């Protein structure tokens, strides 16, 4: 077991522990249904960046402590800090995201599968964090909403991009414009979820164990390919396929996978190449 080093902050409400190559990340503000503060957003960014540097990492599971995944932005807390809001709103030129967006999109930058396990409220910014994961499991009675519309604003924490990847434009517009609340069962029907389970953490763990049987380099390449070329032209996609495959053909973990498959044994992979 190892703890991922984070920037020390007295008001930190994100925990992260890595066991057997799997990072368990928790939003840990249960008394406020894990509502997002500026410090919590900073901690999410710092956690994701620390994990990205770990080449032995195999997967990430992100969930919420207490009765909810995340009830969205804590407006009462955030609005008391106008100067910090302004600073957090400014994008980083080298990333193309501001703090609000990076708190979600940083999980897409980690070259391992990220699985969100959702129960209770998954609203507003919380929904955008969940949608930034590669896979989502939720309880049937969990509550999902692009809640920003209730406050007269739009989802601006990468949610537009994530919705565009998961649902049709009419569904994305409807959810955004109405701010309607849907159950986990309805979210699955709409295409927001990977699956339903009364124990989403168990469902996440089962998928992670399945993924750990595959080369970490193959998983990273697949994630990069889909995320970077989902709306690209065929020509650009084909070029990226060739580039990723060229690296994989020479990678040590590809040889491990091939030999394990031939011998019908479990592979023992080394650290991710990149």
Question: What pTM does this model have?
Answer: 0.94
Would you state the structure tokens that stand for residue 251, as one six-digit string? 């990678």
Query: Taking residues 77-90, what's their average pLDDT?
Result: 92
Residue 197: is its pLDDT beyond 80? yes
H or E element, residue 114: strand 114-118
What is the rounded average pLDDT for all residues in the chain?
Answer: 95
Question: How far is CA 198 from each of CA 117, 121, 138, 188, 195, rounded to the nearest angstrom?
Answer: 11, 15, 7, 14, 10
Residue 10: is its pLDDT beyond 70? no
pLDDT of residue 6: 46
Spatial distance between the Cα atoms of 32 and 12, rounded to a whole number of angstroms: 14
Residue 5: is its pLDDT beyond 60? no
DSSP for residue 49: H
Would you state the structure tokens that stand for residue 168, as one six-digit string? 């049709």
pLDDT tens sequence across 156-170 = 999 999 999 999 999
Residue 131: is its pLDDT beyond 90? yes
């Amino acid at each position: 077991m190892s703890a991922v080093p984070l920037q020390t902050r007295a008001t930190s409400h994100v925990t992260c522990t890595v066991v057997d190559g799997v990072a368990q990340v928790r939003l840990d503000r249960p008394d406020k249904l894990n509502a997002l503060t500026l410090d919590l957003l900073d901690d999410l960014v710092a956690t994701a960046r620390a994990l990205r540097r770990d080449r032995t990492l195999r997967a990430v599971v992100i969930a919420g402590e207490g009765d909810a995944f995340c009830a969205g932005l804590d407006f009462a807390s955030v609005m008391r800090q106008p100067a910090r809001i302004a600073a957090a709103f400014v994008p980083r030129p080298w990333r193309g995201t501001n703090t609000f967006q990076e708190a979600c999109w940083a999980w897409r930058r980690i070259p391992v599968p990220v699985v969100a396990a959702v129960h209770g409220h998954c609203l507003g910014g919380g929904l955008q964090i969940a949608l930034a994961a590669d896979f989502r499991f939720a309880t049937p009675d969990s509550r999902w909403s692009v809640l920003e519309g209730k406050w007269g604003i739009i989802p601006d924490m990468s949610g537009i991009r994530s919705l565009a990847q998961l649902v049709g434009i009419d569904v994305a517009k409807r959810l955004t414009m109405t701010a309607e609340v849907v159950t986990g069962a309805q979210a699955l029907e709409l295409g927001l979820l990977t699956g339903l389970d009364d124990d989403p953490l168990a469902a996440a763990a089962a998928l992670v164990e399945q993924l750990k049987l595959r080369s970490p380099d193959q998983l990273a390449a697949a994630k990069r390919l889909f995320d970077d070329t989902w709306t690209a032209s065929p020509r650009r996609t084909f070029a990226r396929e060739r580039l990723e495959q060229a690296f994989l053909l020479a990678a040590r973990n590809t040889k491990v996978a091939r030999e394990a498959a031939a011998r019908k044994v479990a592979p023992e992979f080394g650290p991710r190449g990149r």
